[in-house]
Each structure stands twice: as C-alpha cells, then as structure tokens.
Amino acid sequence: MLPLIRILIENIFKPPITEDISSVNLPKHPKGFHGYPEHDPTRCIACGICQYFCPAKVIKISQIDDKINYHMDLDQCTCCGQCIDYCPTNAIKHMPNPYFVTTNLDDFKVDHQINLIKCAKCDAFIPDMTLIANKLFGEGKPIPKHLSMCPKCKRKP
Amino acid sequence: MIFKIGRSKSPWLFHLNTGSCNGCDIEIVALLASRYDVERLGCKLVGSPKHADICLVTGPVTARSKEPLLRIYDMLPNPKVIVCIGACSISSGVFTDGYSIVGPAHNLIPVTAYVGGCSAHPKNIFLGLQKAIEVFKEGR
Ligand code: SF4
Ligand code: SF4
C-alpha cells in the first residue's frame, strides 16, 4: 500500500507525458504538392475554358464595364487540376503548400480584376490576346488583325 | 479551471461522417497513425460524443444524416467545438445542389474552424485542431 501512495504523490509533481500541441514540428509535405489553384490576372485572357472544365463550379467570370471580374469560391475546389491543365496561357498554378485553415469562410473567396483593351474598329472591350499571338506565331511577331477585333467586327466583311 | 487545462492539454476527438466519400476519414486516420501521431499530444479518438471535446465533421450533410448530426450536436459537452474537414463539409463541394443534400454543416450548427482541401491534408487537420485548442485556452 505504501509504495502505491508514494507513486501517486510522485505523479502529481511529474510533468505531463504528452507534448504541447503549439510547439510541434510536423514532417514536411512532398515536393510539387497539388494545393489550391492560384490565379494570375496579368496572364489571364478571360477565355472561360477553366470555367467550362471545372467540375465543382468554382470559377465564375463576369464582365463589369471595362473590366472582367474573375471570382473563385475556393471552399468548393477539389484541387483536381482541370483548370490548370486546360488553361492556354498557364495563368493558373497549383499552390505548393497544403495550408488552408480558417475560422472565417470569406477567406476562401478570391476576386481578381482583368483589364480589357478596346477593339481596333469599334468601342467594344475585348481581352488582350498578346500572349496567345506570341504562343501561335512566336515572340515579337506582329499581332494579326483578327485577334485585335471584337467578335462582331470580325464577322463584318 | 481544471477542465480548461485538461481540454487544452489533451482534447478527445469524435469523428462524425455525414455522407463523405471516406477520403477525409482516411486522412483523419493518417493523422492518428504513426507519421503524424497526434496521440502523443493527448488527442484520442473516442467512440461516444459524450466523451469528446472536439467533433470532426466530414462530408456534405445528406438528408439521412441531418437528424443524427443535430442529435450528436446536442450530446456534445460544452463548449461545443466543431471542426469541419474537407471541401464537402465547408460548402458541399462538388455535391452542391444535389437532390439529397440539405446544405453544408454551417447552415445547421455553429462551426469553430474550417479545414480546406479535397481531401484535407493531415497537416491541415492538425492546424485545425490547434485553432480549436486556442478556443479552449480562451475559455469560451
Ligand atoms: S482545381 Fe478543379 S475544382 Fe479547383 S478550380 Fe480548378 S478545375 Fe475547379
Ligand atoms: S483558362 Fe486561363 S486564360 Fe482562360 S479564363 Fe481561365 S485562367 Fe484565364
């Protein structure tokens, strides 16, 4: 009986055997981790291919006057990479880390503005196609006329 | 006071699947297994919501699992800390507007922390647990 009481009293003064959760080093995540998509508004041409291929309807593209609003609800994203595979200008990339923990749902919403340029013939706004022209015809070549016109002017003879 | 210290030093977890695909459930098991091993921190998976401090919810809430979710929420001891894990649990994910989905968990019960990803990385779930433990330390 006596040794038991001694052990009980000793245990009261021992530190806990569990570690403190705020001072723990976790193993590193693998290289090239497929995290959430990260959108680059300077490369995007607002073609809408990513919106078409996204299975979770994360991406919503809408035009507001002379700007395109590119909206992402990352809370629905499944990190599948469809938008990244199909983007013609590589405007979307996977984030390399898996972290996304929050207490506020608004942190998952991403809003980007994409600048538009004027059509060569009329006053309509169209996306800048320079990146696509560079990809098709090579860097530094002049941009062909049909890529700098709005769809309506293209159809006119 | 002693409950507050005990909870922040070794919170017990209860895992509730409300119609998830099992991806996030497997990640929770990975969190408890040897690589991440939260049991060394005192986090233990328990079988009854009445013994639990933190409830880990996975999956979009289906019509069938709505009633169990609300019942289990009533059974949890105060403070009721819910951690939503995975895209489905946060916003129904790819199942949004499905005929059998009655909405993400935050429409039905108050949620403390959201852990994103499909499926959530064990590291993310760990950070979610840290957020939940901050709530215990503040003594809400
Ligand atoms: S990664 Fe998949 S789910 Fe996420 S935005 Fe891209 S296509 Fe949509
Ligand atoms: S596919 Fe690429 S270029 Fe097209 S709208 Fe999406 S991000 Fe922009």
B131 CA distance to ligand 2 middle (Å): 35
Quick check: A108 contacting B, CB < 8 Å? yes
Contacts of A35 in chain B (CB under 8 A): 117
Q: pLDDT tens, A80-96?
A: 889 999 998 888 988 88
Ligand 2 center from residue A65 Cα (angstroms) = 19
* Structure confidence by residue, pLDDT tens digits, A3-21: 899 999 998 888 877 777 7
Longest dimension (CA), chain B: 46
- Reduce the DSSP state of residue A73 to 3 states and report it: strand
Q: The pTM is what?
A: 0.84
**With an 8 Å Cβ cutoff, are A105 and B123 in contact?**
no
Q: What is the mean pLDDT of residues A124-142?
A: 82
Interface of A with B in 67-96 (CB under 8 A): 73-80
CB spacing of B124 vs A99 below 8 angstroms = yes
Nearest to B100 by CA among B110, B88, B85: B88
Q: Give the model's pLDDT for residue B8.
A: 77
| Contacting residues of A for B9, CB less than 8 Å apart | 16, 18, 20
pLDDT band per the 50, 70, 90 thresholds, residue B119: confident
Residue whose structure tokens are 């193993």: A27
In this predicted complex, what is the ipTM? 0.77
- Work out the average pLDDT over A59-69: 87
Per DSSP bridges, beta strands B81-85 and B54-58 are: parallel
pLDDT at B86 over 70: yes
Tell me which ligand sits closest to the C-alpha of residue B91.
1
Give the whole-number percent of chain B exceeding pLDDT 90. Answer: 26
Q: Which ligand is nearest to the CA of B116?
A: 1
Determine what percent of chain B is predicted with pLDDT higher than 70.
99
> Which residue is it, tokens 């819910």?
B82
DSSP state of B86: S
A98 lines ligand 1 (CB under 6 A): no
Taking the C-alpha atoms of residue A149 and residue B8, their distance in angstroms, rounded to an integer, is 63
